Chains A and B, each alone.
Chain A
Amino acid sequence: MNKNIFTIIAKSLICILVFVILLYLKNAYSYIFSSRTSGMIAVPKNGDLLFIGSSMTRQSYDTKLLNENLGLVYLVAYNGNQPCLILEEWRFLLARGVSWKKYYIEFYPQTSAVAPSISDLRIFLDSDLDLKLKYIRLLSLGRQLTFAEYYELFVTSNIELISTFLISKPLIDSLSYNGGYIGKMERGSDLESLDRESELIVLTTKEMDPNQKKCWADLFTFARSKSLEMEIWESPKYRAVGVHSHYTSIRNQMLEMTKRAGIPYRSLPFAVDDPSLFRDPIHLSTKGREIFTREVLKTF
């Protein structure tokens, strides 16, 4: 009986120890499993134009087309990427020796109006322990992180990518090119769906989140201190989204900030009424992506 209990306790302790060690290794070296064609880890050391933003950045630019005409272009895109996260990502990239001619940072009022949060857990995969802790500090601004959030971030996040990397990594890598999509066909939507979906993503506030606002200011200061050439770019949104008073209010605040900091702000012309160009109110369809990329080329 005593021997049995001893065995159970010993095995339990060994299991806990193995679990803790694996957990540490996972969080310290998760970036080993990162994609080689998208995300922060895959960014080449030097290049011409580096875009940093959210899924809208990924969906708005055709990297093949840009590369053919503008030199090396790369998109660092994570779903729901926010100013505070972008600032840390940019610092991380520079610390890794990345140096590009020009940086284009995405602006989307929605991500500037909410408190710091992570919606794309791949951000956690592509970072080292130090960056992960910085994210945690950001997420803890003004609130207490719950146990479930810690658990998701440190234990379960990206476990799928890590445990299947032998098969999933080559497949995922083959679907991206310099951070953008290859061969992904996304049909346009229709007016009815776009109008309905636009109502679901209406901004509830007309003010920027104070933490995100501070991150924008820090981002401008950071660029200036490192003499980095940067621009703020706004990708096209379906008309119902772009004309909403809260959206325009936050955009005006941003315009004011960029003007004061002397940072160029661009919002390129686009047929925002044409439903065939949008997959949903904020993401372009394949056709929309091609048309917008050509518009980008004209700008250069």
Chain B
Amino acid sequence: MTRYGIPFLLAASLFFYGYWNPYYLLLIFFSILSTYLSALALQQFEKDLRFRKLILLSAILINFAILIVFKYYNFFAKELSQFQSLIHFPFLDILLPVGISFYTFQAIGYLIDVYRNEISAERDFFTYSLFVTFFPQLVAGPIEKSTHLLPQFKERENVSKEDFLSGLDLILWGLLKKVVIADRAAVYVNSVYNEPQTQEPLTLLVGSILFSVQIYCDFSGYSDIAVGTARSFGFKLIQNFNRPYFATSIIEFWNRWHISLTKWFREYLYIPLGGNRVSSVRGMLNILIVFSLSGFWHGANWTYLVWGLLHGFFLLSNRVLRKFHFFSFFSEKRWLNAFLRFQKMLLTFCLVSLAWIFFRADSLHNAVLILKRIFFEMKVDLSSIQSSVLPFTHSNTSIAYALILFLWICIVFYIEKKEKIEFHLTTRFLILGSILIFGNFNSSSFLYFQF
């Protein structure tokens, strides 16, 4: 990177973050300073293992404390006040700083890497600050590992034409997924989830399936834009998604969905807890701990915890079923194999969508209500089919909105089925035109910005 590259990118990143709320720059600065100094101290006292442990734990605790106060305090204060009416916890009038969960995890990951001697402590404060605040991935990831991103800031390489163009392609593709699919689906999903009690069961089912599509296109769209932006500057970020809805099991799904977070939890929590090298009961418990924390990481609400736990149970069931080698006798027949693969894909998608209901619902009560209505009150007739199309515009024109959304979902998923997305000039113009014409530009933000 050129001499002025790092200060320039750092200034751009800080401006980007401070533009939203300059006061929260102090918070991120504190996080940077505490982890920067702690890492240097870890390196300094290389021989004193107990002191190193103390430094690491203190730094982790301080950073998690900030995260807990800003993200979880009001939630727990409310829950505890309800539980024990004699004690009243004051409500803090604070906004959740954008990206706090992401940059806190990235900074803590770096500290652990230094503690494990996987990387030397970064001496240059600007370079380290850029590692924490690098603008493409600051607000919603991917959560980068220090051994992957930090060395890239030191390499003095020019941006290749291929990198620049493939970066632009990713940005275009991400935008297409965000504004053409996610934001269109959001119109329906919001309408359904805002008042689930008044909706027909079929409408709730369609809304829940569309939320699965929305959250994927929204988050992976953002990740594509982030990875593409970084790539056009010459940096390679981790690919956060690998066609997750083509997964044929929950285990495979978690190797394809929000890859950077999954890796973080695996490397810094699951393996230190003992991973699967412990007794089977302890191993199961470890998985449930990791998934419940992963759920809570997304937000301060019981719905996220249930979402995480559900995935934990799904994953455990998946592991148990794997041991019995179900359906292995089919493997001889090719066509049966393909059919089975499709069924597994469908089942995985259904399970994931079921869990998303808890993720999206405002409360556990609403999530249970939605599930109850879908499973026990489902009725498919002409009137319910008609009602299930309406939430787009609340008039008959919804039919056209539904058709367009369906068409774009098919196009995008068909293209994404390929391993690598590469475009020619004409394709780029077509995608740009589609974004400009079919994009819904009324949405203000990305879903994962709230985490």
Contact = CB atoms under 8 A, between A and B. Distances in A.
Contacts of B254: none
B425 A175 contact: no
A11 B397 contact: no
Contacts of B440: 156
Contacts of B403: 160, 164, 167-168
B38 to A, nearest CB: 46
Query: 4 closest A-B pairs (Cβ-Cβ)?
Result: A160-B400, A168-B400, A164-B403, A185-B383
A97 interface: no
B438 A193 contact: no
A11 B400 contact: no
Interface string A90-134: 000000000000000000000000000000101000000000000
A161 B400 contact: yes
B200 to A, nearest CB: 9
Nearest to A186: B387
Contacts of B400: 160-161, 163-165, 168, 172
A159 B433 CA distance: 13
Given A79-B395, A165-B400, A185-B383, 19 more contacts: A11-B426, A12-B429, A15-B433, A55-B395, A120-B395, A151-B441, A156-B437, A156-B441, A159-B438, A160-B404, A161-B397, A164-B403, A164-B404, A168-B399, A172-B400, A183-B382, A184-B383, A185-B386, A193-B198
B425 A8 contact: yes
Interface in B380-439: 382-383, 386-387, 394-397, 399-401, 403-404, 407, 425-426, 429, 433, 436-439
Contact of B399 (A7, A148, A155, A172): A172
A19 interface: yes
Interface of A: 7-8, 11-12, 15, 19, 38, 55, 79, 120, 122, 148, 151-152, 155-156, 159-161, 163-165, 167-168, 171-172, 175-176, 183-185, 189, 193
Given A8-B425, A11-B426, A160 B397 contact: yes
B437 A172 contact: no
Interface of B: 198, 382-383, 386-387, 394-397, 399-401, 403-404, 407, 425-426, 429, 433, 436-441
Nearest to A7: B425
B441 A148 contact: yes
A11 B436 CA distance: 17
Given A160-B401, A164-B404, A155 B429 contact: no
Overall SS of chain A's interface: helix
Contact of B397 (A122, A151, A183, A193): A122
B432 to A, nearest CB: 8
Given A164-B403, A193-B198, A175 B396 contact: yes
A172 B390 CA distance: 12
Contact of A11 (B386, B425, B433): B425
A79 B392 CA distance: 14
Given A159-B438, A164-B404, A19 B399 contact: no
A172 B404 contact: no
B425 A159 contact: no
A171 B441 contact: no
B437 A155 contact: yes
Contacts of A11: 425-426, 429
B4 to A, nearest CB: 28
29 contacts: A12-B429, A15-B429, A15-B433, A19-B433, A38-B396, A122-B395, A122-B397, A151-B441, A155-B436, A156-B437, A159-B437, A160-B397, A160-B403, A160-B404, A163-B400, A163-B404, A164-B399, A164-B403, A165-B400, A168-B400, A168-B403, A171-B399, A172-B396, A172-B400, A176-B396, A183-B382, A183-B386, A184-B386, A189-B198
A79 B198 CA distance: 21
A164 B406 CA distance: 11
Residue among B198, B396, B425, B441 facing the most chain A CB atoms (10 A cut-off):
B396
Contacts of B407: 164
Contacts of B383: 183-185
A38 B396 CA distance: 10
Nearest to B392: A160
A144 to B, nearest CB: 19
A38 B395 CA distance: 12
B180 to A, nearest CB: 11
B366 to A, nearest CB: 15
A246 to B, nearest CB: 25
A152 B439 CA distance: 10
B407 to A, nearest CB: 8
Contacts of A120: 395
Contacts of B386: 175, 183-185
